[in-house]
Amino acid sequence: MMANLNISMPPALEQWVDSRLAEGRYADAADYVRDLIRRDQEADEAERQWVRERLAEGFASGVIDAEPEDVLREIMARLPDA
């Protein structure tokens, strides 16, 4: 069973939707909105996956036994413009 959703939009957005429909890629405005929502869900999941991967990288890199200031000084000393 599908739910109904009624939305209001300014004329400029309505014209945008109409132009997308005219391209023939979508059957109607509802089809277009469903596609946008699916893409948003996929992008959200991709962002979450990216964060998970960065966290895993961080955990895998281990813990160093140094003060944060010392670590930053060491990193900055390696930079060419430091």
pLDDT score for 4 = 92
DSSP state of 49: H
Phi, psi of 6 (to 5 degrees): -105, 130
Dist CA 30 CA 32 (whole Å): 5
> Is the distance from CB of 21 to CB of 29 less than 8 angstroms?
yes
In which band, very low, low, confident or very high, does the pLDDT at 80 lie, cut at 50, 70 and 90? confident
Evaluate if pTM is beyond 0.85: no
Confidence band for 81, pLDDT divided at 50, 70 and 90: confident
What's the pLDDT tens digit per position in 8-63?
999 999 999 999 999 999 999 999 999 999 999 999 999 999 999 999 999 999 88
Which pLDDT value is given to residue 82? 56
Crossing angle of helices 11-22 and 29-60, in 10° steps, is 90
The Cα 12–Cα 24 span in angstroms is 19
